[in-house]
């Protein structure tokens, strides 16, 4: 049980254990009537089975023992385990199970912040009178998810989102863990730097070269040395290693650097096609600047000003950080459609905020392969424009309405 401070901030981070494999197993048993649980096979969720295309999106525990890694090509995984079975993902079903999970969360939590298709933060502050001790309630919630939805989760509990997420990554599956500030030194500092949120592979390699191998080493390092090697990202990981969640604090403009662009149109836009055309230009500019600086956006927003000078804004926290033009364009158009009431438009703006370093990206089942292709396209276009000028090449999607 946690200490009886009923006014303490309490956050749950809930993460489905091996979500894509678990949901595929349920799909095959519940929808197709199969009797064998694929979680007990040497199995992966990947691309086309006959063509062996795509990447590994999930793997069973037995497949993991062969050294198969999430994100590697399916054909490479097949070579490591000749008897490996690859199942194609059924995205519609995964989305259905995700919606059921989020619906369950909303029954209990005053605020639910979905972080990805298989994880969410729940603000449980002030719910002691409703559910009693938060840790005891977390066990009840974990068991309810297992018994009613058919899959297991880990629940991390703390006084901020960062530490709750770190706690949920402790031993799995079907576990509840706490990581309050007073537990950081014992539970978090001995962990390798790779386990710290926002420490990607290249950052970890650079830390190792500096003789920094554990999260505690980061927390006790000289901040000026970290900043000299990693710039603003050094300060971020220093704070994270000390349990300070910057996402819950107001930061200066320099620390919370955003990338935005807007344009005042010389005529009233009354058609969504014209607005899409303008937003592609804005996304090209915003994403090009992010790529040049080596950062990706966590939040994307759209601003509209109508002919009566009424300003409206709409934003979205992304499931995966991005600097890809086509991804930002698609989301901007979705935000526009949700925001626009049909009034004539005089100004359109697109902004990318809460930027992070490029080597950190949340794995997202629904965009993994397309993201890599679009990333390569952006790199090619940037290279041509750097050499021949900004107008040297134009995207075909510039003239097309995005798919709904």
> Does 303 lie in the same domain as 384?
yes
> Does 348 lie in the same domain as 243?
no
> Does 384 lie in the same domain as 269?
yes
> Does 289 lie in the same domain as 346?
yes
Instruction: pLDDT band for 8, please (50, 70, 90 cuts).
Output: confident
Asked if residues 55 and 73 have their Cβ atoms less than 8 Å apart, the reply is yes
| Domain stops at, among 178, 213, 248 | 248
> Does 216 lie in the same domain as 317?
no
Q: What is d(CA 274, CA 344) in angstroms, rounded to the nearest whole number?
A: 11
> Does 273 lie in the same domain as 240?
no
**In this structure, is residue 282 part of a structural domain?**
yes
Which one from 3, 31, 100, 119 is the annotated catalytic residue? 119
Residue 246 has pLDDT above 80, yes or no: no
Q: Which residues contact 256 (CB under 8 A, 6 or more apart)?
A: 353, 354
Nearest to 233 by CA among 359, 360, 361, 357: 357
Residue 69's domain comprises: 19-92
**In this structure, is residue 29 part of a structural domain?**
yes
Residue 10 burial class via C-beta count within 10 angstroms: exposed 0-12, middle 13-18, buried 19 and up: buried
> Does 233 lie in the same domain as 213?
yes
> Does 265 lie in the same domain as 395?
yes
Instruction: Please state, rounded to an integer, the average pLDDT across all residues of the chain.
Output: 84
| Domain stops at, among 48, 64, 92 | 92
Q: What is d(CA 319, CA 299) in angstroms, rounded to the nearest whole number?
A: 9
What does the pLDDT average to over 283-296? 88
**In this structure, is residue 368 part of a structural domain?**
yes
Residue 80 has pLDDT above 50, yes or no: yes
**In this structure, is residue 38 part of a structural domain?**
yes
**In this structure, is residue 66 part of a structural domain?**
yes
> Does 300 lie in the same domain as 221?
no
**In this structure, is residue 99 part of a structural domain?**
no
CA distances from 398 to 99, 237, 277, 283, 369 (A): 33, 38, 6, 10, 22
The domain spanning residue 371 has which CATH number?
A: 3.30.1490.100
The domain spanning residue 45 has which CATH number?
A: 3.40.1170.60
Residue 89 has pLDDT above 70, yes or no: yes
Per-position DSSP letters for 85-131, written without gaps between them: EEE---HHHHHHHHHHHHHHHHHH-SEEEEEETTEEEEE-TT-HHHH
Residue 401 has pLDDT above 50, yes or no: no
**In this structure, is residue 302 part of a structural domain?**
yes
Nearest to 283 by CA among 374, 158, 213: 374
Indicate the number of domains in the chain: 3
The 10s digit of each residue's pLDDT in 296-344 is 888 899 999 887 777 888 888 887 788 889 889 999 999 999 888 888 8
> Does 282 lie in the same domain as 302?
yes
The domain spanning residue 237 has which CATH number?
A: 1.10.150.20
> Is 119 a known active-site residue?
yes
> Does 275 lie in the same domain as 202?
no
**In this structure, is residue 32 part of a structural domain?**
yes
Nearest to 87 by CA among 42, 118, 119: 42
Residue 392's pLDDT is 45
> Does 299 lie in the same domain as 266?
yes
């Amino acid at each position: 049980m946690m200490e009886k401070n009923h006014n303490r901030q309490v956050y749950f981070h809930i993460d489905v254990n091996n979500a894509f494999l678990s949901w595929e197993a349920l799909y095959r048993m519940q929808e197709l009537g199969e009797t064998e649980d694929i979680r007990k096979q040497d199995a992966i969720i990947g691309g086309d089975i006959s063509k062996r295309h795509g990447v590994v999106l999930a793997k069973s525990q037995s497949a993991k023992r062969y050294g198969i890694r999430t994100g590697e090509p399916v054909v490479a995984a097949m070579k490591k385990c000749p008897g490996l079975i690859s199942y194609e993902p059924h995205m519609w079903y995964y989305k259905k199970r995700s919606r059921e999970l989020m619906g369950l969360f909303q029954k209990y939590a005053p605020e639910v912040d979905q972080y990805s298709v298989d994880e969410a933060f729940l603000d449980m502050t002030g719910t002691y009178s409703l559910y009693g001790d938060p840790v005891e309630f977390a066990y009840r919630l974990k068991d309810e998810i297992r018994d009613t939805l058919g899959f297991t989760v880990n629940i991390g509990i703390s006084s901020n989102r960062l530490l709750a997420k770190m706690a949920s990554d402790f031993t799995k599956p079907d576990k509840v863990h706490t990581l309050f500030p007073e537990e950081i030194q014992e539970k978090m500092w001995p962990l390798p730097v790779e386990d710290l949120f926002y420490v990607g592979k290249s950052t970890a390699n650079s830390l190792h070269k500096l003789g920094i191998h554990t999260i505690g080493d980061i927390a006790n390092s000289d901040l000026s040395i970290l900043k000299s090697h990693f710039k603003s990202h050094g300060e971020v990981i220093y704070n994270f290693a000390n349990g300070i969640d910057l996402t819950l604090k107001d930061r200066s403009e320099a620390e919370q650097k955003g990338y935005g662009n807007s344009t005042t149109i010389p005529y009233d836009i009354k058609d969504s096609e014209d607005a899409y055309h303008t937003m592609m230009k804005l996304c090209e500019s915003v994403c090009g600047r992010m790529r040049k600086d080596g950062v990706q956006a966590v939040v994307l927003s759209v601003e509209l000003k109508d002919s009566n000078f009424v300003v409206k804004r709409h934003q979205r926290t992304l499931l995966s950080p991005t600097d890809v033009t086509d991804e930002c364009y698609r989301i901007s158009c979705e935000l526009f459609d949700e925001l626009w009431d049909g009034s004539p438009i005089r100004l359109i703006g697109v902004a990318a905020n809460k930027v992070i370093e490029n080597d950190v990206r949340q794995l997202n089942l629904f965009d993994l392969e397309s993201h890599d292709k679009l990333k390569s396209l952006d790199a090619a276009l940037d290279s041509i424009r750097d050499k021949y000028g900004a107008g040297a090449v134009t995207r075909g999607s510039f003239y097309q309405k995005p798919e709904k």
